[in-house]
Amino acid sequence: MFFSVCDDVHVALEDDVNTAVLAAQKAFPSWAAILSNDRAKILWKFDDLIEQHADELADLEALCGGKPKGVFKGFEIPMTSGAWRYYAGWCDKLEGGSFPQDNGFMKIVRREPIGVCAAINAFNGPLVMTALKGAPALAAGNTIIIKSSEKSPLSSIYLGKLANEAGIPPGVINFISGAGPTGALLASHMDIRKISFTGSTGTGKRIAQAAAASNLKKVSLELGGKSPSIVFADANLDIAVKWCTQGVVGNSGQVCIASSRVYVHESIRDRFVDALKAAFEASQAGFGDPSDANTHLPPLIDNLQFERVSKIIEEGKRENTLVTGGCRLFSEGCWVAPTIFVDPSPNANVYKNEIFGPVVVVSTFTDEDEVMTRANATEFGLSGAVFSQDVNRALRVASKIQSGMACVNCCAMLDITVPFGGYKQSGWGREMGKAGIESYTETKTVLVNMTY
Ligand code: NAD
């Protein structure tokens, strides 16, 4: 049985989008001019309120996508509030530069806010994405309009109430709901100066086209992935199996950096696959009622995604060797059993394309150069991992992985203090860290004639 949890979320049409843009334009000059310390205090207050209202936010996320409340409160709330706190700390640290005046000109470089920005979010981590875009945008003095995904709008709407309580001035942060057509209005709006998008590569391309065809607004894109994990014969097997399991089973695989392609050295193949199978099967105990403390895995977000993933799995079963999973869990609902395919053909859909479900493909390798070629033979480049106890090899392989993130003896990890983003068709630009806030600024060079 599939059912709708809420059918009265307001969908922003053209007039609503224009109203939000006007409000953001009106609020921009005073927000940009506010004392940086005062701006930080407001963002800290907002962050405190998010933590204080973790229960209500967890209820809304559980209602939308069946997200387990324990995981949400233990992982997504700390990550969200950590991002707001981190960027609040940047409010007074956006330094510029100055250069030698040996030719008679003093050269000063300033960082200034861009103006009215917009964010379009994917469904799988609405609060975290709101923080990764909203916090650096506001800390740098911009105003922003944030559109949630039509599949998970409720927690973002609640943030609007908390923003008011925190004293964020009207128009500085604006939450709107709606599907693709609402996002398209933002992407093509003539008065929005930057758009930051998280979602699929196909939608990202449409947004880049709309931005170029309208006012050439700046575009950041956080897109899809098909991240490789390379497990060498000297790896700690328990560690590799643990991370390769949670890296693709966590959030039921609805994670952009899911470690969905594993390459294991031929000499440990059987031991690795047996242990991975046991771990995947054991993880099934984590599915269930989102308010149950033992539940730590959600279903797929909706019927559409369930049918899409099920179709890819059925096709995979015809062409590849299934080790475990490959079917639905429970007689109703959108739960998919964690699934392992081995020895996929290089052209198989399950091997090449992002599935966004709990599905991994495991291949074997014998030689480092050969596995690097195969791991990098993809248009994606979001993340990758190497498992080895040889530090030289681990660092060498990490440097050869063509992706914005390379993990050693772990995978599918993020950290707010360091840049995150994709090579190739996994994205444009970086979120998180200093790069994240700099992407919400323009540099201005001031040249002063010192001989005048
Ligand atoms: P999606 O591309 O279907 O939708 C994302 C957002 O775009 C939604 O808000 C949707 O309403 C909006 N949208 C749809 N069509 C649009 C258009 N023509 N113009 C403007 N906006 C439009 O993605 P999804 O299914 O919500 O999310 C899954 C995808 O997101 C996966 O590919 C995943 O890898 C990716 N993702 C990437 C990251 C990252 O940081 N790199 C993080 C999370 C998810």
Atom 19 of ligand 1, residue of closest alpha carbon: 184
Residue 278 has pLDDT above 80, yes or no: yes
Q: Does ligand 1 come within 6 angstroms of the Cβ of 181?
A: no
pLDDT average, residue stretch 110-139? 98
* Ligand 1 atom closest to Cα of residue 151: 26
Q: What is the CATH number of domain 228-408?
A: 3.40.309.10
Residues with Cβ within 8 Å of 74's Cβ and at least 6 positions away in sequence, in order, are none
String of DSSP letters for 18-52:
HHHHHHHHHHHHHHHHS-HHHHHHHHHHHHHHHHH
Report the first-to-last Cα separation within the chain, whole angstroms.
78
* Ligand 1 atom closest to Cα of residue 354: 32
Nearest-5° angle of CA 256, CA 260, CA 263?
140
Q: In a 10 Å sphere around its CB, with 0-12 CB exposed, 13-18 middle and 19+ buried, how is residue 332 labelled? A: exposed
* Ligand 1 atom closest to Cα of residue 225: 34
Q: Does ligand 1 come within 6 angstroms of the Cβ of 122?
A: yes
Beta partners for 445?
109
Neighbour count for residue 334 (Cβ, 10 Å): 24
String of DSSP letters for 103-171:
TSEEEEEEEEE-SEEEEE--SS-HHHHHHHHHHHHHHTT-EEEEEPPTTS-HHHHHHHHHHHHHTPPTT
pLDDT digits (tens, 9 = 90+) for 60-69: 999 988 999 9
Atom 43 of ligand 1, residue of closest alpha carbon: 256
Residue closest to 145 by CA, chosen among 192, 85, 84:
192
Neighbour count for residue 141 (Cβ, 10 Å): 24
pLDDT average, residue stretch 42-49? 98
Residues 66, 286: Cα–Cα separation, whole Å: 13
Mutate to test the pocket of ligand 1, among 64, 192, 198, 254 (most ligand atoms within 8 A of CB): 198
Helix axes 36-52, 77-88, angle to 10 degrees: 170
Catalytic residue IDs: 222
* 3-class DSSP assignment, residue 382: coil
Helix, strand, coil percent content, the chain, rounded in steps of 5:
45, 20, 35
The per-residue pLDDT for 7 is 74
Domain extents for the chain? Answer: 14-223+422-449, 228-408
* Ligand 1 atom closest to Cα of residue 421: 41
Residue 3 has pLDDT above 60, yes or no: no
Q: Does ligand 1 come within 6 angstroms of the Cβ of 192?
A: no
Q: Does ligand 1 come within 6 angstroms of the Cβ of 251?
A: no
Sheet harboring 116-120: ordered strands across? 173-176, 143-147, 116-120, 194-198, 218-222, 427-428
Atom 21 of ligand 1, residue of closest alpha carbon: 183
Residues 70, 276: Cα–Cα separation, whole Å: 25
Residue closest to 418 by CA, chosen among 387, 372, 383:
383
pLDDT digits (tens, 9 = 90+) for 366-422: 999 999 999 999 999 999 999 999 999 999 999 999 999 999 999 999 999 999 999
How much of the chain exceeds pLDDT 70, in percent? Answer: 99
Residues 440, 446: Cα–Cα separation, whole Å: 19
DSSP 379: S
Q: Does ligand 1 come within 6 angstroms of the Cβ of 357?
A: no
* Ligand 1 center–CA 65 separation, angstroms: 16
pLDDT average, residue stretch 52-79? 95
Residues 178, 11: Cα–Cα separation, whole Å: 4
- Token couple for 283: 């993880």
What is the fold of 14-223+422-449?
Answer: Aldehyde Dehydrogenase; Chain A, domain 1 (3.40.605)
The β-bridge relationship of strands 228-231 and 384-387 is parallel
